[in-house]
Chain A
Amino acid sequence: MLKASKVHFCIRQRPIVDEVSLELNPGEILAVLGPNGAGKSTFFKILSGEIKCKHGAIGYNGHDIYTLKSRELAEVRAVMPQHTQVNFPFTVQEVVELGLISTKAKDPSKLIREVLEATNTTHLKDQVFNTLSGGEKQRVQLARVLVQIWEAKPFPRYLLLDEPTSSLDIAQQHAVLKILETLKSRNIGILVILHELNLAAQYADKIALLKNGMIAKTGTVEDVLEEEILAHVFDHPIHLIPNPATGGVFVSSAASSHPNIQTFKQA
């Protein structure tokens, strides 16, 4: 389990992340949602070990994050930042191989073959990374991140993603989240920051709503997706409409409610 307890981070006395507690179990997709400036990215960096929180604790499978060396940490968690620039002409295969830099894989070429397949990037492997389109680059980065935790291990691993679907078109957004879904069966827990509420509604198991550095609400998708809470968190009227395609809800942020639209209320 990835467990954050009362994580606190201040910049000039102003709390950016305010006593946030969260749990992520393997086999689960947890979507972190919230408006701009809610502290999502800072919380994400604390979870990944990039910055240290002032108070509180992060535990990976019961090990305190600050007792783990960067190499040990890399074995239990992989991180996909929002943008990754590659300044030199590396090929796709070389970029993906980098994910294995600190792990001693038994069969590295098999792992690479599998993640390339899983991310549908096998055909790109000899191309130079910088010549790819935005969606292709994102899938290659996903492959690099995945290969780090792909090998079956006796302990659960975790994948943290910061807005992996930003700047992608609709088909690519779903492609990325479908890949994440397949990870659940590999004893991997997934924490993903999303902007698009409907993607969260469709793919997440649990949602954490962040506002002003605090958890506004956390729980299962059905628990969290409520009009009043969402409207409060995002400062914008939000309507939930039954989504016949998924059986879930469709989140509408249309400015005014249309009388003909029947809003979705929970009993």
Chain B
Amino acid sequence: MISTLSYTKTQSQNLILLGFGFVLGLVLLMSLSMGAFSIPFPQTLAILFDQVGMSLGTFEVQQENVLLQIRMPRVLMAILVGGGLGIAGAALQGMFRNPLVEPGLIGVSSGSALFAVIFMVLVPVTASLAWIKPIGLPLFAFVGGLINVLAVYKLSKSQGRTDAATLILAGVAINALAGALIGLVLFFADDSALRSFTFWSLGDLGGATWSKIPVSLVLIAIPSALLLFNSRQLNALALGEQEAFHMGVNVQGVKLQLLVFSALIVGAGVSMVGMIGFVGLVVPHLIRILFGADHRLVLPGAFLLGAILLNFADLIARIIVIPAEMPIGVITALIGAPFFIWLIFNLNKSKK
């Protein structure tokens, strides 16, 4: 019976999401307790439950400080940025109807980076204007990302369809241009700005503090939640923009929402922790391969899996070279690049 079938289907979707949530919880727990300063699991749990007024055991003040002041904001930031990159990647892939689309590949990230660098180097932040920095940086990054994603979209679209080859070419060109402009801006930067840029460009969650969480929450969590409302429309867009219009979807409106929300998420993420590649590409793919293409599952699943992967990558980055830290972009690229190669290989195979 179809009715029971589609019923159990949403049930199984919920189960899958619940499973992701459970895994995320485990990774978070590991991430909170492991690192250069190790906090045993019982103490980790005790500190967490102590926050809600339940006493589970004793712990040292130093443990509490490390966990709550250093690791907690970092883990939250990894959830927001990883989840945001995952869901934005899924939304952009759906909108472009192309599984190769990734915020980094088509130039959203580099556009955000360019504008972030412009803001960091060229906008003088005096003491009186210090309040503008936590908002100004992500907003600048958002504008840069939006400009690039619009440019790539216009360039790659012909006769209502986005052509994969032009899409990638446009992305390469836009990335090159943004890279050159970043270089130009950095030419005017001083040594300390250069050094911080180098680390920032490879992705760095180490700068995550509680003060950055509220802005990230507003600029990443809210657009991500709003993207979820577009999942059915994204399913319709998968058949083509004309077909979606025939089925009654307000195509232009939906596309505008998808572009703005994705650029917001990626821009905020890039401005907070730098460029982190491959999460937006790999995560939606994994979900589709494992559980199918229904965006009602792909979008929330991509958020959760993105959060899991980035936290996991951050954990590795922190414990692999104790007491130093590996830049997280190195880890995600080390996981992501081979996956991307495998993906291209398989796409070629399925065409034969």
B246 touches A79 (CB 8 A): yes
Instruction: Find the B residue at minimum CB distance from A100.
Output: B247
B293 touches A102 (CB 8 A): no
B245 touches A99 (CB 8 A): no
The answer, yes or no, to whether A56 is at the interface (CB within 8 Å) is no
Tell me which of A4-12, A81-89, A177-185, A224-232 binds B: A81-89
B2 touches A102 (CB 8 A): no
A94 touches B2 (CB 8 A): no
In angstroms, Cα B288 to Cα A73, docked, is: 32
Interface members, chain B 235-272 (any A CB < 8 Å): 235-236, 238-240, 242-243, 245-251
How distant is A233 from chain B, measured CB to nearest CB, in Å?
28
A91-B292, A94-B293 known; A101-B247 Cβ under 8 A: yes
Interface members, chain B 202-260 (any A CB < 8 Å): 232-233, 235-236, 238-240, 242-243, 245-251
B248 touches A73 (CB 8 A): yes
Contacts of B242 in A (CB 8 A): 50, 81
The answer, yes or no, to whether A95 is at the interface (CB within 8 Å) is yes
Interface members, chain A 79-125 (any B CB < 8 Å): 79, 81, 84-91, 93-95, 97-99, 101-103, 109-110, 112-113, 116, 125
The answer, yes or no, to whether A237 is at the interface (CB within 8 Å) is no
The answer, yes or no, to whether A75 is at the interface (CB within 8 Å) is yes
A103 touches B248 (CB 8 A): yes
Interface members, chain B 290-311 (any A CB < 8 Å): 292-294
The answer, yes or no, to whether A258 is at the interface (CB within 8 Å) is no
How distant is A124 from chain B, measured CB to nearest CB, in Å?
13
A48-B246, A102-B247 known; A89-B239 Cβ under 8 A: no
The answer, yes or no, to whether A78 is at the interface (CB within 8 Å) is yes
Q: Contact check: which of B246, B250, B292 meets A90 at CB < 8 Å?
A: B292
Q: How large is the interface on B (under 10, 10 to 19, 20 to 34, 35 or more residues)?
A: 20 to 34
The answer, yes or no, to whether A148 is at the interface (CB within 8 Å) is yes
In angstroms, Cα B251 to Cα A73, docked, is: 14
How distant is A114 from chain B, measured CB to nearest CB, in Å?
10
In angstroms, Cα B3 to Cα A98, docked, is: 15
A89-B292, A109-B3, A109-B6 known; A78-B238 Cβ under 8 A: no
The answer, yes or no, to whether A220 is at the interface (CB within 8 Å) is no
In angstroms, Cα B245 to Cα A48, docked, is: 9
The answer, yes or no, to whether A71 is at the interface (CB within 8 Å) is yes
Instruction: Find the B residue at minimum CB distance from A90.
Output: B293
Contacts of A59 in B (CB 8 A): none
A84 touches B238 (CB 8 A): no
The answer, yes or no, to whether A248 is at the interface (CB within 8 Å) is no
The answer, yes or no, to whether A257 is at the interface (CB within 8 Å) is no
The answer, yes or no, to whether B55 is at the interface (CB within 8 Å) is no
Q: Contact check: which of A84, A93, A148 meets B239 at CB < 8 Å?
A: A84
Interface core residue of B98, B232, B248 (most chain A CB under 10 Å): B248
Q: A73-B248, A94-B293 are in contact. List 13 more A-B contacts (CB 8 A).
A: A48-B246, A49-B245, A50-B246, A70-B251, A74-B247, A78-B247, A79-B243, A88-B99, A93-B6, A97-B6, A101-B235, A102-B249, A148-B248
Name A residues whose Cβ lies closer than 8 Å to a Cβ of B: 48-50, 69-75, 78-79, 81, 84-91, 93-95, 97-99, 101-103, 109-110, 112-113, 116, 125, 144-145, 148
Offer 15 A-B interface pairs, CB within 8 angstroms, sorted by A.
A48-B246, A70-B251, A71-B248, A74-B246, A81-B242, A85-B240, A86-B239, A88-B97, A89-B293, A98-B236, A98-B239, A102-B249, A109-B2, A113-B2, A148-B248
